[in-house]
């Protein structure tokens, strides 16, 4: 019930036993599928996180929430990005005095479990697994793909540096969706299944914004995206066969 109104006081009471201890709370719950109703996205992605921040900050705990770099790139936003944009704006405004919340805008994650069926990488995996054609746009959209294990190290750096507010977690090595698709299908010897340019280009996308590597990450060596994506998808094949 923590997503409901008037929850911050109840949340503060829940954390009361640990009030004298340094603590970091990660709000990792989230509705990701943009096809789900806006009310679900707002309840979990915005109100739940907002209420936890307001309740836990009464004890000066650090609260970490997660969003997407698309919050600042897309004007015509889907329900998921709308909810994360609202959360980012709240964290920005709530840090005027408390300095207890950190909202980390992520790029695209991979590396553990099978990829979700509604994301680009999940659709590629489905085509490879079933040996069926993969239809896509011209693929000029730009993305950074981050392995989850690298992301954990980067998040720890931000916490060690006691960062707060809204921060983009970037490694600064973007790639186009077309280059990614070509590399993956070539490495699986299935390039004949790739159909680039069949689908129309979306109007609202990132076609030109390049992020520099976040300055805090000088000690982190992010893995090379394309080879790592192939390694990951091969592990997904093995997991599916097991």
Chain segment 117-142, per-residue pLDDT in tens: 889 999 999 999 999 999 999 999 99
Residues 48-62: tens digit of each pLDDT: 999 999 999 999 899
- pLDDT of 166: 94
Q: How far is 242 from 239, CA to CA, in rounded Å? A: 5
On the question of pLDDT at 239 being above 90, the answer is no
pTM higher than 0.75 for the full model?
yes
Provide the pLDDT for residue 98.
Answer: 59
- Whether the predicted pLDDT of 76 surpasses 90: no
Instruction: Find where tokens 């770099």 sit.
Output: 69
Q: Which residue has the tokens 């995996």?
A: 125
User: Could you tell me if 26 and 64 are in contact, meaning their C-beta atoms sit under 8 angstroms apart?
Assistant: yes
User: Average pLDDT for residues 61-79, to the nearest whole number?
Assistant: 91
The whole-number average pLDDT for the span 189-204 is 94
CA distance 45 to 49: 6
Mean pLDDT of 191-210: 92
Instruction: Give the range among 50-59, 80-89, 97-106, 210-219 with minimum mean pLDDT.
Output: 97-106
Work out the end-to-end distance of the chain between its first and last CA atoms, rounded to an integer number of angstroms. 38
Residues 138-185 pLDDT 10s: 999 999 999 999 999 999 999 999 999 999 999 999 999 999 999 999
């Amino acid at each position: 019930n923590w997503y409901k109104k008037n929850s911050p006081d109840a949340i503060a009471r829940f954390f009361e036993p640990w009030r004298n201890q340094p603590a970091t709370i990660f709000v990792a719950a989230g509705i990701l599928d943009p096809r789900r109703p806006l009310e679900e996205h707002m309840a979990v992605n915005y109100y739940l996180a907002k209420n936890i921040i307001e309740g836990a900050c009464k004890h000066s705990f650090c609260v970490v929430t997660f969003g997407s770099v698309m919050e600042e790139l897309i004007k015509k936003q889907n329900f998921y990005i709308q909810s994360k944009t609202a959360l980012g704006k709240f964290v920005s405004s709530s840090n005027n005095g408390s300095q207890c919340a950190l909202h980390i805008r992520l790029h695209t994650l991979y590396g553990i479990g099978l990829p979700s069926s509604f994301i680009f990488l999940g659709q590629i995996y489905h085509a490879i697994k079933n040996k069926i054609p993969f239809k896509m746009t011209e693929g000029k959209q730009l993305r950074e793909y981050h392995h989850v294990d690298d992301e954990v190290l980067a998040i720890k750096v931000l916490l060690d540096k006691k960062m707060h507010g809204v921060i983009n977690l970037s490694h600064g090595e973007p790639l186009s969706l077309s280059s990614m698709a070509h590399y993956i299908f070539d490495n699986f010897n299935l390039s004949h299944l790739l159909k680039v340019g069949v689908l129309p280009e979306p109007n609202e996308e990132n076609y030109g914004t390049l992020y520099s590597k976040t300055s805090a990450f000088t000690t982190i060596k992010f893995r090379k995206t394309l080879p790592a994506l192939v390694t990951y998808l091969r592990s997904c094949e093995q997991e599916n066969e097991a």
